[in-house]
Structure 1
Amino acid sequence: MFVSGFEGTSLNSQTEKLISEQGIGGLILFERNFENPKQLKSLIEDLQSLTAPNSPPLFISVDQEGGRVTRLKNNFTQFPPMCCLGKAGSDDLAYRFGIAMGKEMRAVGINMDYAPVLDVHSNPENPIIGKRAISSDPDVVARLGCKIIQGFQDAGTVPVGKHFPGHGDTSQDS
């Protein structure tokens, strides 16, 4: 399955061909595709309308972690970075974070999120992960990461945990 990005805030002929002729499995949205929730929902409905009859819907994805990595800004909830969940240490809060973010995305048609960050923040000098990581404790990352994932799933959003093999101990971006 291929996932592709595209330019613009409305359907264009190149994207239309990718879906109807090339049969891609999904699209990733970036800030360049978004003006407001109403426009985004309309765009996603247009994209989904291009799938062949009896075909599964497209995966419409976004990289929406909270904190620094937030693609959906205008009129969307601004969630804190994952480290806040780690500091709180609450399973319930991690679950509610996942379900709230997942429901907000599903409301406009996004059904996949490249989150949560499951890196263990083992290198304090790491300029890439930092606050994006839940914790420097692998047990906390695993426990709270599972709760976030459960929240996403219960909201009807496919979570894609990242980064593998891991960014937590790196000193530069990949």
Structure 2
Amino acid sequence: MRKTFAPEHCNSFTDAQLFSLCDKPHPAQEPAYTDTNSPERWIATVHNPEGRQLTFTAVDHCLDLRREDGKMGKRCDGMLRYDTTVIFTELKQRRDKGSEWIKTAESQLRETISHFEVCGEAGTYKKKRAYICNSEQPAFRVSQIERMERFFRETGYILRIEARIKID
């Protein structure tokens, strides 16, 4: 069991009051990143009104999270950490009909969270959240309340499906 989830080279730091989490469109093979200068690339907008010191960890294309069979597992794009809060994020840029992209994102979050929960670091966080963010479909016609409640019951993480993350 590892004690820390992410190696230092996957981490970046910010205290910006407004910034974004960005990811290049598929099939890019680069990690997600934070941005304050190019709103046209923004997927998830992070509102940090108190200017808290945040750590962003790129997960996909940075962390090696293997399944028991040795194959690479599904990974979300990144996570934010501060004080006793951890927030996992999956970033999408899709205008699809239906909710298939939500199912895919949820699966990526679940698998990443399960890796995180077995490392010694997970127990230091009291507030645990997960976000599915889509810059192309920030609003939904169908309620996702049942999905979010089931996610919480099964993982202990509060799931939000929206492109705005508020740091409190």
Greater strand proportion: 2
Higher helix share: 1
- Give 1 or 2 for the bigger CA radius of gyration: 1
Normalised by the shorter chain, which TM-score bucket? 0.3 to 0.5
How does the TM-score come out when normalised to structure 1?
Answer: 0.32
